[in-house]
Chains A and B, each alone.
Chain A
Amino acid sequence: MYIYDEIDQQIVNERVAQFRDQTLRFLEGKLTEEEFRPLRLQNGLYIQRHAPMLRIAIPYGVLSSKQLRQLAYIARTYDRGTGHFTTRQNIQFNWPKLADVPNILSDLADVQMHAIQTSGNCVRNTTTDHFAGVAFDEIIDPRVYCELIRQWSTFHPEFAFLPRKFKIAVNGSREDRAATLVHDIGLHALLNDRGELGFRVMVGGGLGRTPMIGVVIREFLPEKHLLSYLDAILRIYNRYGRRDNKYKARIKILVKAMTAEKFAAAVEEEWSRIKDGPTTLIDEEVKRIKARFPEKPYQTLAAELPEEVKHFVNQPHVKAWYERNVFAHKQPGYKAITVSLKALGHAPGDMSAEQMEVVARLAEEVGFGDIRVSHEQNLILPDVPNTAIPQVYEALRQWGLVTANIGLLSNIISCPGGDYCSLANARSIPVAQAIQQQFSDLDYLYDIGELDLNISGCMNACGHHHIGHIGILGVDKHGEEFYQITIGGSQAPARLGKVIGPSLKQEDVPQAIEALITVYLETRESTEERFVDVVERLGLDPFKVAVYGQKDAHTEVNHD
């Protein structure tokens, strides 16, 4: 994590004091609900179905063991002992009391955390690759730029009240693991032919009600202009984005209405006025931020697994886990290990206080106290030496954290849905559990291979259903919960799934998924060909027929 200095600390402390004052005034009736609502949202506080929900920022998914331990403390003290990790690399608590929230924020500030701008119509937590800093194919360490953006966006006085929420993603590797094409702004690091660092700038991507893939508005933005260029984009959006209809208020709608070329031209014109001003980055600052991510004293290790570890991971019950949940590291002899929060019978992304403490302890014992949150709602221990693999496995296994399903169908990504979220059309957790139940046989899962399944409880698409190989969306039909299924979406390359037909009742969803999988298994040309590849090759028809039968799939054909 980035380590605060006194000034960073003072800013979060002052925020706690400010929010304490706002909450008190609200509770005393001195601030109206209308006034308090936008203020509390800028601090991640929603009023949900059961109780307030508090969303806490985990900047770009980077956590220290000390911070995770504090989250465990908060879960136990103010919640019912669990936290929910979200697809945006944050954590949510579903049961805090409003009057406790200022104390929670104060506990967070003690470990250099906050809930600033985790909701509301402002610039949200910047997200990136969960292997940032340890990935083998990295061009730059994106955490440095994420932190620069975090500081630039924190309490940005001009952009606190945008037409709608605003999400930025930064990718620092060759492969895009940050889904930059489905963010309001996506930044992809590149080196030009002189070896200088810059970013490809994409705007207007996003999921939600009108899913769109971002468009490139600048092929190469030199590093030092990063923040002034962001200022220019945000200013155009702030001034001209629609404010009359919240469903048309995202930047993607503005980009589409203006056309990408005109939007880009407007940004360039605005930028030409502020370019080379004081917001231009200076090398000292980039270096200073780099230096505030602690060095990791890696040992010199052999790349090969030691014999006894090789033996350990070859045991039948460990093998699948090792293959699915253990990733290559840029440092020889180290691995990044995914801690699965997708155990059968548990809500995806949920983690108990005890589990958090186990992971925090492991991170300290075998790593350097560094932990990551992935947008797939799992945690990652990024620096495990090969020799510690058996120890890590055993500790995680005792706490139900070794489900060997990363990248497989049962690694479901799901929003909290109707059990917690007041915007939901339908519940998502029971659907996720029913599907996990249906596909609990690991051998079968293995045979199916790589498959991303995403579930959202409503159009807001917090579960990113459009980019799931299979996506499930909760819809409301005359007050009843129904589910619409899309197939063929993908995160990288970013592609949006297509709807296969009329929405289904909850109890019919697992069979429908089974039917889709059966078509896939029967038609794939080899085990290399993934579900999503088959959809690409064959189109939707065979899948429609499998789910709805011949007639419904081709309603436009024969009606006799």
Chain B
Amino acid sequence: MTKQILNEVIVENPFQEVADLNTLSSYSHVIIPIELYLEHSSAFEQFQGELGIRIGTDQDLALLVPILSKISLIEVRYDSFTDGRGHSLARLLREAYHYKGILRASGDVFKDTLYYLKRCGFNAFLVKESETLDHALQGLNVFTESYQAAVDQIPLFRRRVELLRI
């Protein structure tokens, strides 16, 4: 099984790709692209295990939002770490649609990209081939404080007085 970063620790990644839909019931955790789900939604609705959906950074949320309650993992795949659309998607999923499951970034993910991703609501990461999970983990907390509000924090200006008192 591969590994992933989940909630700031390195753990097994239980979600597996399915090659053949007929074998679906033999899995406990699967991850599939959203297109496949939309095409075979009835098969997946009957699936008893944990379901993960993979989307791109340009995913139309209108297709994803109706199925949020059925899934326990959303993986946003970054073809390039400079594609900031995924960051907005993550915040919208967390803040506007109150998605509580795992939100995972994959693709062009490495140490230097983790801090912003985490602040936007990602709590799981698969890193690129040239990167190790141990190394990437150090990127999660490169800054102790941040100015603006995001998924993890209210703005510094609402906390500053308190922080300086300590």
Contacts and interface: CB of A to CB of B under 8 A. Distances in A.
Given A121-B82, A151-B148, A278 B155 contact: yes
A7 B82 contact: no
14 contacts: A10-B144, A35-B81, A121-B82, A152-B148, A157-B118, A157-B150, A158-B91, A158-B116, A158-B120, A161-B81, A243-B85, A278-B158, A279-B155, A284-B157
A228 to B, nearest CB: 9
Interface string A224-265: 000100000001001100010000000000000000000000
A38 B89 CA distance: 21
Given A14-B142, A35-B81, A159-B87, 7 more contacts: A7-B163, A38-B81, A151-B157, A153-B148, A155-B143, A279-B148, A282-B157
A58 interface: no
B120 to A, nearest CB: 5
Contacts of B161: 284
Nearest to A30: B130
A239 B82 contact: no
Contacts of B41: none
Given A14-B143, A155-B143, A160-B116, A279 B84 contact: no
A28 B115 CA distance: 23
Interface in A266-302: 273-274, 277-279, 281-282, 284-285, 288
Interface of B: 81-85, 87-89, 91, 95-96, 110, 112, 115-120, 130, 142-150, 154-158, 160-161, 163-164
B87 A157 contact: yes
Given A14-B143, A157-B115, A5 B164 contact: yes
A32 B164 CA distance: 39
B149 A158 contact: no
Interface centre among A35, A153, A154, A159 (most CB of B within 10 A): A35
Contacts, number: 109
- Give the dominant DSSP class at A's interface: helix
Contacts of B164: 5-7
A218 interface: no
Interface in A13-70: 14-15, 17-18, 22, 31-32, 35, 38-39
A521 to B, nearest CB: 52
A14 B144 contact: yes
A11 interface: yes
Contacts of B156: 7, 151
Contacts of B89: 239
Contact of B84 (A6, A15, A153, A238): A238
B148 A162 contact: no
Nearest to B128: A35
Contact of A7 (B85, B96, B116, B160): B160
B6 to A, nearest CB: 19
Contacts of A551: none
B144 A35 contact: no
B155 to A, nearest CB: 6
B143 A11 contact: yes
B149 A277 contact: yes
Contact of B145 (A7, A35, A161, A279): A7
A156 interface: yes
B143 A38 contact: no
B84 A10 contact: no
A398 B85 CA distance: 54
Contacts of B144: 10, 14
A18 B158 contact: no
